Chain A
Amino acid sequence: MRSSGQIDQGGAEGVPTGSPAAADPVADPREADFQALIDADQRIEPRDWMPDGYRKTLIRQIAQHAHSEIIGMQPEGNWITRAPSLRRKAILMAKVQDEAGHGLYLYCAAETLGVDRAELIDLLHQGRQKYSSIFNYPTLTWADVGAIGWLVDGAAITNQIPLCRCSFGPYARAMVRVCKEESFHQRQGFESLYTLSHGSPEQHEMAQDAVNRWWWPSIEMLGPPDTDSTHSAQSTAWGIKRFSNDALRQRFVDMVAPQAVVLGLTPPDPELRWNEQRGHYDFGEPDFEELRRVVGGDGPCNRQRAAHHLKAHEDGAWVREASAAYAAKHAATTAAA
């Protein structure tokens, strides 16, 4: 899954608060052509001229989206060695591998904007770029794997489908591929949870408990309420953000509420009910204070996730150095030959 979002209390699509979205101090004459392209729903490509703010906003958003994919490997990978059947183990391994692949395409998309992956990873390690708040929650039982697939990949799809039409070509194209895989993940998660819910009483209880824990954090994944999300006007004008956080949140709830009925599981929201007049589900107020705390670094697993990624990176330093040394020797040999 991996949503791009909610970073820095950011918008549903991960546009950081107080982002460098501010317009350039001196208007560039090329800006009108750029904006005309966007307004005509054309794609901006890496070689095209673009305002500095647009470039910076995208680098940050794409990087944070990539980091989310990569950090998200941790909570789910946590269950690979304990998956209860060989079939589920294969599905989970393939899913976690897909997330690594998503991270890779996204880092590549960011690189087209003139940064490199190593820099972005340093920013992650320094805490200057974030990742989706959702991955700061722990996966405590096997059912969490199903709940993540259903809810977290579901919220990610809700966020990402509009990004398939994002104005920046490489990001939009990466999202098309990613969304296909995310919807596959969501179906697999749903199916896993369905099996548990319709299994033994203990399995059902495990599934319900997982939904109790993942429901609200998934809804919060769509970002802070529109009333707190003041930075999105520029992103909207730039064709990066197409729907407000609250609009996406409603869309997500409308998708998963009826699915919960099929699953035979009860979302932990007494206010959740169909509203005939609105043609949407009503739902309770998410705990945005909690979202703020988790995004701010005080979720259950923020420290653990960061330490894990840093340790893997540092443990791998000698391997990367050896590769570079070998490549240099080899290049020297080839050149001499």
Chain B
Amino acid sequence: MKRHPLFVEGKLNAGKCNDCEYIRFPRMDYCNKCQSMNISDYLVGPKGKLMSYTISFSKPMVGGIKPPYPYAVARFDTENGNHIDVFGAILSQEPFEDIKINRDVILVSDKLLVKFKMGSD
């Protein structure tokens, strides 16, 4: 299986199953719901909503982010009222007062990691 890029045109490079319509990020070559291998590119974002966050006080294994840094899960609408939840780091300054659950976030493109910024632009 080949590795697909995380981002395409500033959006999440998700995959959509042509058999059961399940949408999954990161994109893989099979469907996590029905095990079909019939998957198409499906772009998601860049605007989402912060579902939860925490703070990490230690260095991440990859990505070279300096601790402490906030880490989050954000929700992105897809289609037919569905959504996907995506994990990533939040770009913010201590004491991270801008970070509030249910607020808007926007994707920041990166090669290795998913990153968000608080706000909608």
Partners in one complex: no
